[in-house]
Amino acid sequence: MTIRFSVWRVSPLLFAAAVWVQSAEGPQVFAILNARIVSVSRIPIEKGTVVIRDGLIDAVGANIDPPADAWVIDGAGLTVYPGLIDALSTWGIPGAAPVATTGAMRSGSSTTPTAAVASPVSTTAPAPAISGPEDRPSNTSYLKAADQIVATDRSIAAAREAGFTTAITFPTTNIFAGQGAIFNLAGERAGGMIVSPSAGMYIAIRTGAPGIGSRTFPGSLMGVIAYIRQIYLDADHYKLANEIYASHPQGLQRPAYDRTLAAVLESPRILLPASRAVEVDRMVRLGQELKRSTVLYGGAEAWRSTELLQQAKTPVLVSLKWPERPPTADPESPDSLRVLEMRAKAPSTPGVLAKARVKFAFYSDGIANPKDVMKAVKKAIEAGLAPADAVRGTTLSAAEIYNVADRLGSIDKGKIANLVVTDGDLFQDRTKVKYVFVDGMKYEPQADSGPARKSVEGTQ
């Protein structure tokens, strides 16, 4: 017997609520039969079965009989992949500032590199004077993306339609912007969507943030890097002082609470910006000096630095916003050979990193349409990246970098049931996403035209 339920959308917010209610009332056990299964963690299964039960992968293999209580999906002609992961995102945070990757060469400009500039300072009140690092300028390390995610944010549904099931989302304003969160792209409330509330500390190189300028600290690239060093020196001292006081409180003055330093210490890793080769070198060495687990983001010229990255065992988050000549560039000003080479070779970076065994993962970098993210990955494949490495870069590698590969990134028994089912190879132009499973809930992306709907169907 075939059963189908449909809920038609009137507005995005009503649709999001209706989809979740319908899914929650639908079946909790699915079996996808006779499908090609690309688990990523092992060789593909050309004809196999995936069983989903209560939000987890219950079984996967070539010779598995579907459970009697499962809703069966005929997977003949379909391919099952792990759900896609955006390794550095602002999805789910309405109005979030874009990721700030340093250097003008990020966009392929031939102008002098400049640091990212934050939103203009409000004219209603003057910014407070900043005398030094003790004032913690541009430091909101205590902000948590997990507290800012809005379950009904439109970016979540749009990303899910394209096959994304997980995002690692960060606050992105200030030098120390805050702690990222790993969350699944479906749910009624943000709390139930969180996979890990502490993914790492997002750090940007900013010399134009509110309250920071040439007359205050830090007002230069050297000053920003010195400030980052000072924060971690202060954090280590803060930790030591609290440990001493906890062991021998009598006769000692208690240390003052500092929420910025406490948050810095809570973070399991730091994310540092590096697009140009000189920035890769600088940030790798900074991470080693700080003695923190370090992840670089940007990576346009990381192909020049594979030996350093390999030796340092530093993973790279590669921006899928491939550099191009800015539309505002002066047409009378020719680009340098270095800039032209960077633009031409940036899409080859993932392939070079894969061959050098440097771990990398992709991130959307503010690309508005998630389907364009897929096109950008395809461009990397055309530039030499093996399709299998492309799949890994959008799934398991991201989970490994953030230390959640025990629950995300591949199709293995016991992991969270985040899957994307397609009618062809993932990055081919004509391939369509047929089903998306997030936490075991089934979604059917709709065509661009016509009213959108959510249906649950199968045989039982």
Listing DSSP states for 1-14 in one string gives -EEEEEEE-SSHHH
- What average pLDDT does the chain have? 85
pLDDT at 218: 79
Name the pLDDT band for 393 (thresholds 50, 70, 90). very high
pLDDT at 448: 52
pLDDT at 446: 74
Domains assigned to the chain: 2-83+414-459 (2.30.40.10), 85-401 (3.20.20.140)
pLDDT at 339: 86
Name the pLDDT band for 346 (thresholds 50, 70, 90). very high
Q: Is 438 helix (H, G, I), strand (E, B) or coil?
A: strand
- Is the dihedral angle over the CA atoms 6, 12, 18, 23 positive or is it negative? positive
Q: What is the pLDDT of residues 411-460, one digit of tens each?
A: 999 999 999 999 999 999 899 999 999 999 999 987 653 333 444 444 44
Kindly give the pairing relationship between strand 71-74 and strand 79-82.
Answer: unpaired
Name the pLDDT band for 27 (thresholds 50, 70, 90). low
pLDDT at 217: 67
* Alpha helical stretches, state H, 248-336: 259-266, 277-290, 306-312
Q: Give yes or no for residue 375 having a pLDDT over 70.
A: yes
Name the pLDDT band for 313 (thresholds 50, 70, 90). very high
Q: What are 269's two structure tokens?
A: 């890793």
Q: What is the mean pLDDT of residues 134-143?
A: 86
Q: Give yes or no for residue 72 having a pLDDT over 70.
A: yes
Tell me the C-alpha distance between 97 and 74, whole Å.
Answer: 42
Between 125 and 319, the more confident residue is 319
> What is the per-residue burial (b if ≥16 Cβ within 10 Å, else e) of 370-385?
beebbebbbbbbebeb
Q: What is the pLDDT of residues 97-135, one digit of tens each?
A: 777 665 444 455 543 333 343 333 333 445 555 555 667
Q: Give yes or no for residue 338 having a pLDDT over 60.
A: yes
Question: CB neighbours (10 Å) of residue 216?
Answer: 17
DSSP assignment of 194-212: EEES---EEE--BSSSTT-
Tell me the C-alpha distance between 205 and 225, whole Å.
Answer: 8
pLDDT at 133: 62
Name the pLDDT band for 24 (thresholds 50, 70, 90). very low
Tell me the C-alpha distance between 333 and 278, whole Å.
Answer: 24
Q: What is the mean pLDDT of residues 198-204?
A: 96
* Alpha helical stretches, state H, 357-455: 370-382, 387-393, 396-401
Q: Give yes or no for residue 317 having a pLDDT over 60.
A: yes
Between 1 and 312, the more confident residue is 312
Q: What is the mean pLDDT of residues 387-413?
A: 98
Name the pLDDT band for 136 (thresholds 50, 70, 90). confident
Q: What is the pLDDT of residues 230-253, one digit of tens each?
A: 999 999 999 999 999 999 999 999
Tell me the C-alpha distance between 370 and 445, whole Å.
Answer: 13
Q: Give yes or no for residue 216 having a pLDDT over 80.
A: no
Q: Give yes or no for residue 32 having a pLDDT over 90.
A: yes
Contact 252, 245 (CB under 8 A): yes
pLDDT at 3: 40
Between 103 and 47, the more confident residue is 47
